[in-house]
Amino acid sequence: MITVADGGARSPGALPRATAAWPRPASVSRPTVALAAVALALFGIARTTGSGWLIVLLTMVAATVALAFVLPAFGLARTTVGATAPRDGTVGRELEVRVALAGGSRAVKLRAVGFDGGWVGAIVPAEGLLAITPARRGVVDVLVIDVRSAAPLGLVWWTRRYSLALPAALEVGPHPTEADVPLPTGDGLEGRDGRRLVAAASDSVRSTRDYLPGDPIKLVHWAATARFGEVMVKELESVASPAVAVAVELDGPDHLVERAASRAAGVANAALRLGLPLVMLTAEARGPRSGPVGSPREVGRRLARAVAGPLPAAPRSAVVISVRARGEREGREDRERREGHGR
């Protein structure tokens, strides 16, 4: 997952071509302003006093300022940046991007654009981890890194923006909010929360038998033991849990959309924690998507790609939990839609 950006001079093999913009001036430091002001004053004084030394001094200052203006641009033009990024991220959680810099400016600072996190410094060549915190949910195909340099004189800062096409996109999922698994009404599930659904779906006692050495103590059936005066243990029969389908509708204002995504992540993760089979119903840029989800990472990836749009039909046997940007509504509508989908 290494990609290199160097202004298009070299392409990183078969990877998508990485591009870098031309360096552009970023800021002028206060000493530069002071130097320019002093230089102007020197010129004025030299012209009125005839002091040749002031002209010599002026040329030195002018040369310094001129070089301070152009050298960082030359340095950045020769600076190459490579980076590797993890596949997954979560809004608000720091992640590490490995960045390598080579050539050009010796001392630079850099930061990833679109992420929370300040500038970090580097003496080139350098390779290390850049801590960034995603601020938004989404799929990052191109990692944009700003490299800033004022080397070697430190008076004028130039910036060069490197766009690094990631071989595998960084999928930033929403920050999950704490949530339980709310169950829809109907189907005899009224009033139950996710834990009761699990309890309902867990192993049931088929019969009892005498205790045999090696039986775990948790299988002891205390009521039967009391009744028969001998230690009795349970014989269990497994019952399949019903699948939970989290339908994520992200149609609405941005802040509600992100809140809904976070809520969906919380619900999905809660379902996973309870061991419920989970299916997520989302809309992606390529169309509706339905599929089982087995881990919080997959939840994040699915929600990273989720956009507003029509949702797919839920599996017939699934309990649908709808999370909507415009407010969560459960119950009849969901059931009706599920039934409708079933037809």
Partner 1 sequence: MTVLAAVKRANAKAPPESSVALRVAVLVAVEAATLATLAQGVGGVGVRVAATVGIAVGFAYSHWARFREGYALKAALAVGVLLAFANFLSAVTGLSAGAINEVQIPLAELFLWVQFLHSIDVPARRDLLFSLVSSLVLMAVAGVLSTSTALGGYLAVWALAAVASLVLAYRSEVSALPALGRSGTPGAVTMRPRSGALRPVVAAAALVAVVATVVFLVVPAAGAGKAVAFPARLPHRVGVPGVGGLANPSLGGADPQSPDGRTSSRGTGASSFGYFGFSNQLDTSARGRPDDTLVLKVKASRPDFWRGQTFDTWDGRTWTQSDQRVRAITGESPLQIVAPPDEQGVGAANGADFVQTVYVEAGGPNLVFAAYAPAQLHIADSAVFEMTDGTIRTGAYLDQGAVYTVVSRRPAVTEDLLRAAEHDASGTPASIAQRYTQLPASTPARVRELAATLAAGSTSRYDVVRAYEAWMRDNTSYTLDIPKLPAGDDAVDRYLFVDRQGFCEQIASALVVMLRSQGIPARLAVGYAPGQRNPFTGMFEVRASDAHSWAEVWFPGIGWQPFDPTAQVPLAGDPYSSAAGTGLARYLRAHLPSVPAGVVRAGAVAVGVLVPLLTLGWLVLLALRRARERRRRPWPDRMLERLERAGTARGRSRRHWESARRYADVLRVSVFPDERLRAVADVIEAATYGPPGGMAPDDHAMAERLLADAEAAHPVR
Both tokens assigned to 272: 């996973």
Among 21, 28, 139, 153, binds partner 1 (CB under 8 A): 153
The token duo for 85 is 């990024």
Residue placing its CB nearer to partner 1 in the complex, 53 or 222: 53
**161 near partner 1 (CB under 8 A):** no
* Residue 100 or 189 with smaller CB distance to partner 1: 100
Is 15 a residue that touches partner 1 (CB under 8 A)?
yes
Contact segment (CB under 8 A) with partner 1 among 27-35, 85-93, 205-213, 300-308 equals: 27-35
* 170 in Cβ contact with 143 (< 8 Å): yes
Give whichever of 130 and 246 is closer to partner 1, judged by the CB atom: 130
Q: Which range touches partner 1 (CB under 8 A), out of 48-56, 272-280, 292-300, 324-332?
A: 48-56
| Least distance in angstroms from the C-beta of 104 to partner 1 | 13
The alpha-carbon radius of gyration of the chain (Å, integer) is: 31
Q: How many other CB atoms are found less than 10 A from the CB of residue 174?
A: 28
If one asks whether residue 26 binds partner 1 (CB under 8 A), the answer comes out as no
Residues 110-149 contacting partner 1, CB under 8 A: 110, 118-123, 125-131
Distances (CA, A) of 4 to 99, 148, 169, 210, 300: 10, 17, 15, 69, 27
Question: Which of 22, 24, 25, 45 is close enough to bind partner 1 by CB under 8 A?
Answer: 45
3-state secondary structure of 219: helix
Which residues in 56-115 contact partner 1 (CB under 8 A)? 56-64, 66-68, 71, 80, 82, 94, 96, 99, 102, 106-110
Helix (H) / strand (E) element for 55: namely: helix 52-77
> In the complex, what is the shortest distance from the CB of residue 172 to partner 1, in angstroms, rounded to a whole number?
17
| Segment near partner 1 (CB under 8 A); pick from 152-160, 186-194, 258-266, 314-322 | 152-160
Minimum CB separation of residue 43 from partner 1 in Å reads: 9
Q: How far apart are CA 93 and CA 97, in angstroms?
A: 13
Which residue lies nearer to partner 1 by CB, 89 or 242?
A: 89
Chosen residue from 22, 25, 38, 196 binding partner 1 by CB under 8 A = 38
| Under 8 Å between Cβ of 63 and 94 | no
Q: Report if residue 152 touches partner 1, rule: CB under 8 A.
A: yes
Tell me how far apart the alpha carbons of residues 295 and 267 are, in angstroms, rounded to a whole number.
12
Piece of 5-13, 137-145, 263-271, 286-294 that binds partner 1 (CB under 8 A): 5-13
Cβ atoms of 99 and 130 within 8 Å: the answer is yes
Shortest Cβ 167–partner 1 spacing (Å): 8
Helix (H) or strand (E) holding 54: helix 52-77
C-alpha distances out from residue 265 to 261, 273, 325, Å: 6, 12, 13
- Is the preceding omega at residue 315 within 30 degrees of 0, hence cis? no
